[in-house]
């Protein structure tokens, strides 16, 4: 199921996948009407003039092609807007927008349905019952098109805007954080204190996107070894960067055939949101950094993102969901937990650096760190204290007005008091 989830999430990022499925469904629906001719429905179905269906299908075929072309142009413009105003790393989330994909799929599917059905009607493919069912299907398709178009017009006005992009990144980051928070070691066991071991290296350069833990477990059971994962999803790997370390039960790692082990690591050119919780934090930080640039000068967006990051870390601090299954399902695979300090580095370093000279951003950042320090988690408290002090140092260098700096120092003192508890 985890592998299916990963494949499905990748398909959602391809614009052709859903329209292709709807096109196949539309072709099937056009031929379903023929089945009615082999039943007794013809005795009860009202007579439908073929000319009326031809007119309806002709109008639909002509209009759907135009609307589909227009929708593609609008979606492409939204993609370009998201990449230029937010960050190029948000492109995959904008492409996976359900409303836009459903709209494009509906328009293309309706066009294919009308073309196929029109060809069938003109060649006298249907009898009375088939024409009646085809008329009903055409009316249903036409109604779906109208509803979809109205919803899509409302959505396309927001697609690609900074606020909409932030919401999509927050949703993706929240889902990844929940999944990792409930399975901090990916259903494996925590890393034991081990030294050495046989290192297995990547054959390609890229980011680890997904790890098939089940395959690693199966291989480790057959080989009589324990696998220590050294590259979590989001890690940049190269031929000299170990993916994992092998520890044989008998202590003899030299004779183990590990050539197929790297196949359990899906490596690509980009980081993905689904299995990489830190990537969502990085993208949010990038959006804030761009908003704080002199060319854009939008501290309000950075403040909004600070609040979003606060919500995500508060989510991380909540108790993990209880499971009926055992916590460690794969006992021969060892996985590191995500470091809270690393997550804070991803989220707040760029904002503290680029917003050091803006009093409103610096104060809001200190207040957010103060809230995180008061949650009670020791690791989060230490990380909040470190980043609060670091942000204060940057503000002391960047700010020239003494009153502004005093406000930041006052907010920072609360962070230090809570972090010391």
Domain ranges of the chain: 2-160, 185-268, 274-419
- Whole-structure pTM value: 0.81
Question: Tell me: the pLDDT tens digits for 116-137?
Answer: 888 888 888 888 888 888 888 8
Question: What is d(CA 237, CA 209) in angstroms, rounded to the nearest whole number?
Answer: 11
pLDDT at 306: 96
pLDDT at 327: 59
At 418, the pLDDT band (50, 70, 90 cuts) reads: low
Backbone angles phi, psi at 37, to 5 degrees: -70, -20
pLDDT at 414: 61
Compute the chain's Rg from CA coordinates.
Answer: 28
pLDDT at 195: 66
SS (H, E, C) the chain: CHHHHHHHHHHHCCCCHHHHHHHHHHHHHHHHHHHHHHCHHHHCCCCCCHHHHHHHHHHHHHHHHHHHHHHHHHHHHHHHHHHHHCCHHHHHHHHCCHHHHHHHHHHHHHHHHHHHHHHHHHCCCCCHHHHHHHHHHHHHHHHHHHHHHHHHHHHHCCCCCHHHHHHHHHHHHHHHHHHHHHCCCCCEEECCCCCCCEEEECCCCEEEEEECHHHHHHHHHHHCEEEEECCCCCCEECCCCEEEEEEECCCCCCCCCCCCHHHHEEEECCCCCCCCHHHHHHHHHHHHHHHCCCCCCCHHHHHHHHHHHHHHHHHHHCCCCCCCCCCCCEEEEEECCCCHHHHHHHHHHHHHHHCCCCHHHHHHHHHHHHHHHCCCCHHHHHHHHHHHHHHHHHHHHHCCCHHHHHHHHHHHHHHHHHHCC
At 419, the pLDDT band (50, 70, 90 cuts) reads: very low
> Is the per-residue pLDDT at 75 higher than 70?
yes
CA-closest candidate to residue 112, choices 51, 50, 24: 24
Question: What is d(CA 325, CA 218) in angstroms, rounded to the nearest whole number?
Answer: 19
Higher-confidence position of 104 and 407: 407
CA-closest candidate to residue 308, choices 162, 160, 174, 411: 174
pLDDT mean over 233-246: 90
Higher-confidence position of 145 and 86: 145
Question: Tell me: the pLDDT tens digits for 241-252?
Answer: 899 999 887 767
Question: Tell me: the pLDDT tens digits for 163-207?
Answer: 888 998 999 999 999 999 988 988 899 888 666 788 889 888 999
Higher-confidence position of 4 and 364: 364
Question: Tell me: the pLDDT tens digits for 276-304?
Answer: 999 999 999 999 999 998 888 899 999 99
pLDDT at 132: 85
Question: Tell me: the pLDDT tens digits for 374-404?
Answer: 886 888 999 999 999 999 999 999 999 999 9
pLDDT at 286: 92
pLDDT at 342: 94
Q: What CATH topology corresponds to 185-268?
A: Aldehyde Oxidoreductase; domain 3 (3.90.1170)
> Is the per-residue pLDDT at 84 higher than 70?
yes
> Is the per-residue pLDDT at 216 higher than 80?
yes
Question: Tell me: the pLDDT tens digits for 261-276?
Answer: 888 899 998 898 988 9
Q: Which one of 32-46, 81-95, 233-247, 300-314 scores highest in mean pLDDT?
A: 300-314
> Is the per-residue pLDDT at 254 higher than 50?
yes
pLDDT mean over 359-384: 90
CA separation, residue 258 to residues 21, 163, 194, 254, 353 (Å) = 39, 47, 19, 10, 44
pLDDT at 325: 59
Residues 6+ apart with CB under 8 A from 241: 201, 202, 231, 235
Question: What is d(CA 133, CA 113) in angstroms, rounded to the nearest whole number?
Answer: 14
Residues 6+ apart with CB under 8 A from 292: 298, 299, 302, 351, 354, 355, 358, 361
Average pLDDT, the chain: 85
Question: What is d(CA 165, CA 102) in angstroms, rounded to the nearest whole number?
Answer: 18
pLDDT at 40: 66
């Amino acid at each position: 199921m985890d592998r299916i989830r990963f494949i499905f999430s990748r398909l959602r990022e391809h614009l052709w996948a859903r329209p292709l499925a709807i096109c196949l469904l539309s072709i099937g629906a056009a031929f379903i009407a023929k089945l009615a001719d082999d039943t007794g429905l013809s005795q009860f179905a009202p007579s439908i003039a073929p000319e009326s269906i031809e007119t309806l299908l002709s109008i639909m075929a002509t209009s759907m092609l135009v609307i589909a072309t227009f929708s593609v142009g609008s979606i492409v413009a939204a993609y370009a807007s998201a990449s230029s105003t937010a960050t190029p790393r948000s492109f995959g989330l904008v492409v996976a927008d359900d409303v836009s994909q459903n709209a494009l799929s509906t328009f293309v599917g309706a066009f294919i349905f009308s073309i196929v059905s029109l060809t069938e009607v003109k060649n006298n493919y249907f009898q009375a019952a088939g024409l009646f069912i085809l008329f009903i299907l055409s009316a249903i398709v036409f109604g779906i098109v109208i509803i979809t178009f109205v919803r899509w017009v409302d959505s396309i006005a927001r697609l690609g805007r900074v606020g909409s992009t932030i919401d999509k990144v927050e949703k993706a980051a929240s889902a990844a954080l929940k999944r990792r928070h409930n399975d901090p070691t990916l259903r494996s066991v925590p890393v034991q204190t081990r030294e050495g071991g046989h290192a297995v290296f990547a054959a390609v350069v890229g980011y680890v996107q997904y790890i098939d833990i089940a395959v690693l477990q199966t291989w480790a059971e057959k080989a009589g070894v324990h696998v220590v994962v050294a590259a979590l999803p989001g890690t940049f790997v190269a031929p000299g960067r170990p993916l994992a370390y092998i520890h044989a039960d008998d202590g003899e790692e030299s004779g183990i055939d590990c050539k197929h082990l790297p196949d359990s690591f899906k490596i690509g050119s980009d980081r993905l949101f689904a299995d990489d919780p830190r990537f969502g934090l990085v993208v949010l930080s990038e959006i804030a950094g761009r908003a704080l640039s002199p060319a854009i000068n939008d501290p309000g967006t950075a403040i909004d993102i600070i609040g979003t990051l606060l919500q995500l870390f508060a989510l991380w601090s909540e108790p993990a969901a209880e499971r009926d299954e055992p916590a460690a399902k794969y006992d021969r695979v060892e996985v590191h937990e995500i470091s809270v300090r690393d997550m804070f580095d991803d989220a707040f370093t760029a904002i503290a650096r680029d917003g050091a000279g803006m009093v409103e951003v610096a104060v809001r950042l200190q207040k957010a760190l103060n809230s995180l320090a008061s949650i009670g988690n020791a690791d989060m408290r230490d990380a909040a204290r470190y980043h609060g002090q670091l942000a204060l140092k940057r503000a002391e260098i960047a700010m020239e007005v003494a009153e502004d700096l005093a406000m930041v120092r006052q907010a920072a003192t609360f962070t230090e008091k809570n972090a010391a508890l």
